[in-house]
């Protein structure tokens, strides 16, 4: 057997698998099912041809398999016609039922010598000779293919939907290629020997049409070409490899046995997946690069969202990133109230909604799209979900030129929606865009939820102060109200500790287990990504602790457990621990121990440890390379702690505001964007609670800095 003999077999396997995948994607879809029936006819055609080539030297067997071929070929026109009717949503008429009648008549005739008889053996294969009934079948074949074309072209001209028009265009192209190239397979039946590339028509039709009917929004030309090219390239490489392997065997063995062919087939099938993956990488790298780097966009939005708890800044960050990626004409944020089912417009660029405008959600669309974290695509739901229940909402989206609504969900809770208009390029959103939007929407939902939570904490504190001030007007009433406020405050702190700390602790625990290899070995990129997750969790835990400390400080409920100790050992332990985690940093952390034993101090050891660790960690963060020196000494009646570094330094204008809440130096903000400006504020409050003082000294940017605090000696 030659490599040409295997061409129909590989085509059969490829077409059937792709058709089956389309069917399994949505078993209830009529278009998917009809497409699958069409691929079954191709499969029968290809398998029968393969077996016919295999038995070309045995006349009876070759004729048998040629008649087997027609079991599939006879039904190609009717299934093509049925596929067309289903796609354009046209009711079945007399022509449809008449075509089924003719198909079964031709099926019965194909078993007789009046359809095909005798053999025509040519250079590349073999075929039974066409008889009178075959001529009639060919006329029937051409008529129904032409009718399918006419219906599709009329449907295409009357379409207003851009997406549907593109889908129809590709189906017309695929049907044209099938009928024009595939019809060449009839030539050998009329004594015309031709190279059997006609079988590729079924593969081409299947690839293009499969992506045109599966609702993945793969209708832009770039993705169609990319995916069909990758599959076809993989298919032909496998074919060439099979031919080469078989040729090598033929050099050593005069006669190729059947088990060798079976081994070649198994090897070919097993190699298809890795070869396809390789071609995907090449196609993405050299031929079909995106207009934007999705990983870069996701990384950028992630970095920006970590730096802010302000709602307006979060909106601006997301708008800037999406504008850079998609060049949007319209953008908006809609907040969602689950109790009322109403959207509130919080941010609007190019949309006719005014700020804080209320919009009633559509329960039907909300349930089938938003709750399932699926985007609402205006153009698509017009064709699939436009009815009395949805008409008003869909018309509103169309009037405002909103093309996509992306849900912002956290678990089963909807925070709001991203409203996106058309791109400036007029391109439709493809599945790569939606993958990026899904990741960004998840990050945005978390950032917005954190911002709203932080805002609630601030409002709670403001309201608490008002209540306390009001309560002091009447001592008795004040006592009752303060008791209730105190209880509410305790409940709030307890809830905040549980709701915020516990999930973060679980995240850290599982991430550390994965990094430790408990769930298997990680790739380098996976390990780096998980390390970023772990660092972000650490940062969030510090933020939560700082917020809770601030809440307790401002409510004057921060408790201290004082004990009389020597501060030297506390500092020594912290320095030793931090030296272990410096890793590859080019930093020398040195502790200058006092020459004499220091006097004792009365402190809350845990809280002073937090202050010391915070100051040394800040020095490490803002020192790329150089020295960090920690010292303890007696000044007058105080123990003075100091940490000096050779890092970025501090501008003199920034020094007065460093120890204020949510305040950071300009230089520090540029170097370390994740900071919140809470650590030094909490440190100042802790030291002041110990009757001490804390300050900073620096000669300016890039000249290092020195942080000090003093605690009174026990008399």
Q: What is the pLDDT of residues 121-132, one digit of tens each?
A: 877 677 888 899
Whether residue 428 sits in one domain with residue 321: yes
CB 106 within 8 A of CB 137: yes
Confidence of residue 222 (pLDDT cuts 50, 70, 90): very low
- For residue 674, tell me if it sits in a domain: yes
Residue 302 in tokens: 């992630």
More confident residue, 234 or 626: 626
Does residue 553 have a pLDDT over 60?
Answer: yes
Whether residue 482 sits in one domain with residue 399: no
Whether residue 543 sits in one domain with residue 394: no
Confidence of residue 218 (pLDDT cuts 50, 70, 90): very low
Looking at the chain, the whole-number percentage of residues with pLDDT higher than 90 is 15
Whether residue 599 sits in one domain with residue 575: yes
Ranking 79-88, 424-433, 560-569 by mean pLDDT, the lowest is: 424-433
Confidence of residue 706 (pLDDT cuts 50, 70, 90): very high
Across the range 33-57, mean pLDDT stands at: 85
- For residue 458, tell me if it sits in a domain: no
CATH code where residue 195 lies: 1.20.1070.10
Number of C-beta neighbours around residue 176 at 10 A: 15
Whether residue 366 sits in one domain with residue 248: no
SS (H, E, C) 562-589: EEEECHHHHHHHHHHHHHHCCCCCEEEE
Which residues, including other chains, have CB under 8 Å from residue 257's CB and lie 6 or more apart? Answer: none
- For residue 451, tell me if it sits in a domain: no
pLDDT at residue 221, rounded to an integer: 36
pLDDT at residue 669, rounded to an integer: 57
Whether residue 504 sits in one domain with residue 391: no
- What letter does residue 112 receive in the DSSP assignment? S
HSE-CB of 307 using CA atoms within 13 angstroms = 18
Whether residue 173 sits in one domain with residue 25: yes
Alpha carbon separation from 561 to 7, 491, 573, 607, 608 (Å, rounded)? 83, 22, 20, 9, 11
* Boundary (domain end) residue, out of 179, 194, 219: 219
CATH code where residue 312 lies: 3.30.450.40
* Boundary (domain end) residue, out of 554, 579, 614: 554
Whether residue 375 sits in one domain with residue 238: no
Does residue 5 have a pLDDT over 50?
Answer: yes
* Boundary (domain end) residue, out of 203, 219, 235: 219
SS (H, E, C) 393-437: HHHHHHHCCEEEEEEEEECCEEEEEEEEECECCCCCCCHHHHHHH
Can you tell me the distance from the alpha carbon of 501 to that of 503, in angstroms, rounded to the nearest whole number?
6
The residue written with tokens 């400036």 in the block is 424
Across the range 545-561, mean pLDDT stands at: 70
Does residue 228 have a pLDDT over 90?
Answer: no
pLDDT at residue 170, rounded to an integer: 78
Domain extent at residue 275: 222-289
The residue written with tokens 């940017």 in the block is 701
Confidence of residue 245 (pLDDT cuts 50, 70, 90): confident
Across the range 228-250, mean pLDDT stands at: 73
- What letter does residue 355 receive in the DSSP assignment? T
Whether residue 617 sits in one domain with residue 543: no
Does residue 140 have a pLDDT over 70?
Answer: yes
- SS3 state of residue 199: helix
Whether residue 252 sits in one domain with residue 212: no
CB 61 within 8 A of CB 55: yes
CATH code where residue 674 lies: 3.30.565.10
Burial 572-592 (b: 16+ CB within 10 A, else e): eebbeebeeeeeeeebebebe
Q: Which of 73-77, 173-177, 353-357 has the highest mean pLDDT?
A: 73-77
Report the chain's mean pLDDT, rounded to a whole number: 80
- For residue 456, tell me if it sits in a domain: no
Phi, psi of 525 (to 5 degrees): -65, -40
Confidence of residue 224 (pLDDT cuts 50, 70, 90): very low
- For residue 457, tell me if it sits in a domain: no
Phi, psi of 130 (to 5 degrees): -70, 140
More confident residue, 428 or 560: 560
pLDDT per residue as tens digits for the range 633-656: 999 899 999 999 998 888 888 888
Across the range 5-27, mean pLDDT stands at: 76
pLDDT at residue 547, rounded to an integer: 67
Phi, psi of 333 (to 5 degrees): -115, 130
Whether residue 299 sits in one domain with residue 252: no
Structure pTM? Answer: 0.42
- For residue 566, tell me if it sits in a domain: yes
Alpha carbon separation from 656 to 529, 606, 664, 665 (Å, rounded)? 37, 27, 10, 10
pLDDT per residue as tens digits for the range 406-415: 998 887 788 8
pLDDT at residue 219, rounded to an integer: 33
Q: Count of residues for the chain?
A: 715
Alpha carbon separation from 310 to 284, 291, 457, 580, 706 (Å, rounded)? 38, 31, 13, 36, 31
Does residue 487 have a pLDDT over 70?
Answer: no
CB 536 within 8 A of CB 544: no
Can you tell me the distance from the alpha carbon of 361 to that of 347, in angstroms, rounded to the nearest whole number?
17
pLDDT per residue as tens digits for the range 338-372: 888 898 887 778 787 777 788 888 888 888 888 88
- For residue 459, tell me if it sits in a domain: no
- What letter does residue 661 receive in the DSSP assignment? T
- For residue 462, tell me if it sits in a domain: no
Can you tell me the distance from the alpha carbon of 80 to that of 206, in angstroms, rounded to the nearest whole number?
12
Query: How many domains would you assign to the chain?
Result: 5
Whether residue 338 sits in one domain with residue 260: no
Across the range 71-87, mean pLDDT stands at: 90
pLDDT at residue 162, rounded to an integer: 62
Does residue 694 have a pLDDT over 90?
Answer: yes
Confidence of residue 223 (pLDDT cuts 50, 70, 90): very low
Can you tell me the distance from the alpha carbon of 452 to that of 464, in angstroms, rounded to the nearest whole number?
18
Can you tell me the distance from the alpha carbon of 366 to that of 624, in angstroms, rounded to the nearest whole number?
50
Ranking 62-76, 323-337, 484-498 by mean pLDDT, the lowest is: 484-498
Ranking 384-398, 583-597, 662-676 by mean pLDDT, the lowest is: 662-676
């Amino acid at each position: 057997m030659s490599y040409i003999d295997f061409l129909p077999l590989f085509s059969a396997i490829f077409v059937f698998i792709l058709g089956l995948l389309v069917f399994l994607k949505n078993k209830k879809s009529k278009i998917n099912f009809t497409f699958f029936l069409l691929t079954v006819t191709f499969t029968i055609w290809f398998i029968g041809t393969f077996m016919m080539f295999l038995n070309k030297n045995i006349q009876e067997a070759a004729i048998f398999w040629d008649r087997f071929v027609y079991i599939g070929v006879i039904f190609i026109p009717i299934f093509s016609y049925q596929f067309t009717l289903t796609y354009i949503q046209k009711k079945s008429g007399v022509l449809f039922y008449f075509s089924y009648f003719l198909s079964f008549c031709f099926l019965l005739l194909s078993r007789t010598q009046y359809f095909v008889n005798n053999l025509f053996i040519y250079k590349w294969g073999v075929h039974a000779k066409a008889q009178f009934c075959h001529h009639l079948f060919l006329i029937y074949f051409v008529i129904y293919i032409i009718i399918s074309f006419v219906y599709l072209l009329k449907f295409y001209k009357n379409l207003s939907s851009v997406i549907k028009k593109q889908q129809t265009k590709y189906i017309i192209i695929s049907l044209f290629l099938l009928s024009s190239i595939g019809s060449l397979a009839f030539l050998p039946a009329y004594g015309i020997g031709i190279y059997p590339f006609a079988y590729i028509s079924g593969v081409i039709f299947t690839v293009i049409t499969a992506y045109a009917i599966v609702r993945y929004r793969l209708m832009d030309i770039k993705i169609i070409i990319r995916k069909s090219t990758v599959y076809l390239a993989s298919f032909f490489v496998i074919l060439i490899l099979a031919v080469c392997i078989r040729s090598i065997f033929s050099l050593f063995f005069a006669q190729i046995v059947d088990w060798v062919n079976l081994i070649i087939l198994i090897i070919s099938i097993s190699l298809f997946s890795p070869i396809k993956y390789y071609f995907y990488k090449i196609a993405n790298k050299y031929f079909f690069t995106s207009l934007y780097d999705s990983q870069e966009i996701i990384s950028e939005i992630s970095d920006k969202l970590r730096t802010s708890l302000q709602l307006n800044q979060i909106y601006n960050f997301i708008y800037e990133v999406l504008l850079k990626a998609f060049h949007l004409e319209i953008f908006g944020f809609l907040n969602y109230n689950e109790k009322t089912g109403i959207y509130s417009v919080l941010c609007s660029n190019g949309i006719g909604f005014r700020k804080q405008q209320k919009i009633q959600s559509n329960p039907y669309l909300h349930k089938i799209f938003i709750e399932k974290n699926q985007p609402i695509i205006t153009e698509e739901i017009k064709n699939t979900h436009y009815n009395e229940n949805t008409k008003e909402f869909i018309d509103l989206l169309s009037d405002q030129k909103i093309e996509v609504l992306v849900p912002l969900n956290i678990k089963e809770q909807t925070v709001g929606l991203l409203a996106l208009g058309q791109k400036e390029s007029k391109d439709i959103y493809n599945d790569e865009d939606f993958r990026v939007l899904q990741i960004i929407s998840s990050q945005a939902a978390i950032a917005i939820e954190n911002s709203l939570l932080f805002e609630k904490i601030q409002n709670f504190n403001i309201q608490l102060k008002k209540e306390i001030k009001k309560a002091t007007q009447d001592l008795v009433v004040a006592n009752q109200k303060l008791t209730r406020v105190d209880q509410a405050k305790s409940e709030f702190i307890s809830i905040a500790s549980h709701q915020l700390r516990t999930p973060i602790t679980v995240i850290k625990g599982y991430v550390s287990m994965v990094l430790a290899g408990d769930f298997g070995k990680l790739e380098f990129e996976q390990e780096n990504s998980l390390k970023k997750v772990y660092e972000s969790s650490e940062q969030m835990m510090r933020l939560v602790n700082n917020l809770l400390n601030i809440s307790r400080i401002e409510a004057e409920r921060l408790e201290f457990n004082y004990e009389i100790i020597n501060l030297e050992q506390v500092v020594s332990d912290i320095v030793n621990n931090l030296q272990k985690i410096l890793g590859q940093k080019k930093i020398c952390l040195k502790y200058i121990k006092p020459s004499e034993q220091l006097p004792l101090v009365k402190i809350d050891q845990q809280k002073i440890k937090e202050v010391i660790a915070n100051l040394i960690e800040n020095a490490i963060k803002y020192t790329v390379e150089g020295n960090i020196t920690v010292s303890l000494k007696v000044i007058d009646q105080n123990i003075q702690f100091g940490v000096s570094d050779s890092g970025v330094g501090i501008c003199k204008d920034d020094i007065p505001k460093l120890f204020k809440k949510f305040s950071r130096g300009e230089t520090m903000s540029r170097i370390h964007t994740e900071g919140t400006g809470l650590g030094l504020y909490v440190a100042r409050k802790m030291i002041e609670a110990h009757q001490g003082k804390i300050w900073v000294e620096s000669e300016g940017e890039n000249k290092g800095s020195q942080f000090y605090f003093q605690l009174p000696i026990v008399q």
